[in-house]
Amino acid sequence: MLDTSHNLGILDAGLERPAREQRQWDALFLTLFSDLNTIARHVRMSIRLELPSYHLMPTARLDAEVLDQVSSVLRRAHQGSAAASATAQAEPATVGALRCRQGIPVDDMLRAWTIGVQVAIRHARRRAATLDLDTEHLLDFVQSALEWSDAAMATAAAAHRDATPDLTCQDRSSFVRKALTSALPPAEILSRASTYGLDARQRYFAVRARPAEGLARREVDGLLPFRSADHGRDSAGTHIDGDVAGFVRERPAGQTAATIGVGPARTLDQIDESFRLATRALDTAHKFGLGGAHDLDSLGLRVAVAADRDVGEAMHQRYVAPISLSNSGPELLASLREYLACGMHVERTAERLFVHQNTVRYRVARCEEAIQASLRDPRVAMEVSWGLDWAIVQSRQAAEPRTSPLEQSPSSWP
Rounded Cα gap, residues 336 and 363, in angstroms? 8
The predicted pLDDT at position 382 comes to: 95
CB under 8 Å to 304, separation ≥6 — which residues? 311
322-349 burial, b for 16+ CB within 10 Å, e for fewer?
ebeeeeebeebbebbbbbbebeeeeebb
Q: What value does the mean pLDDT take over residues 73-91?
A: 63
DSSP 410: P
The edge-to-edge listing of strands for the beta sheet with 235-240 is 235-240, 243-248, 203-211, 258-267, 292-294
Whole-number pLDDT of residue 71:
84
Q: What domains lie within the chain, and their CATH numbers?
A: 8-163 (1.10.490.10), 169-299 (3.30.70), 308-399 (1.10.10.2840)
Lowest mean pLDDT among 29-38, 302-311, 330-339: 29-38
pTM assigned to the model: 0.58
Cα distances (angstroms) measured from residue 279 to each of 58, 86, 292, 308: 37, 58, 14, 16
Angstrom distance (rounded) from CA 349 to CA 351: 5
Quote the crossing angle between the two packed helices 36-50 and 59-79, to the nearest 10°. Answer: 120
Instruction: Please give the pLDDT value at position 220.
Output: 60
Q: Which of 93, 66, 76, 70 is nearest to 147 (CA)?
A: 76
So what's the pLDDT on residue 229? 40
Determine which of 205-209, 230-234, 267-271 has the lowest per-residue pLDDT on average: 230-234
Supply φ then ψ for residue 237, to 5 degrees: -135, 165
d(CA 179, CA 183): 6
Higher pLDDT, residue 277 or 258: 277
pLDDT higher than threshold 90 for residue 302 = yes
| Residues 202, 206, 208: CA angle, nearest 5 degrees | 155
Full DSSP string of 317-361: IIIIHHHHTSTTHHHHHHHHHHHHHTTT-HHHHHHHHTS-HHHHH
> Mean per-residue pLDDT for 305-324?
94
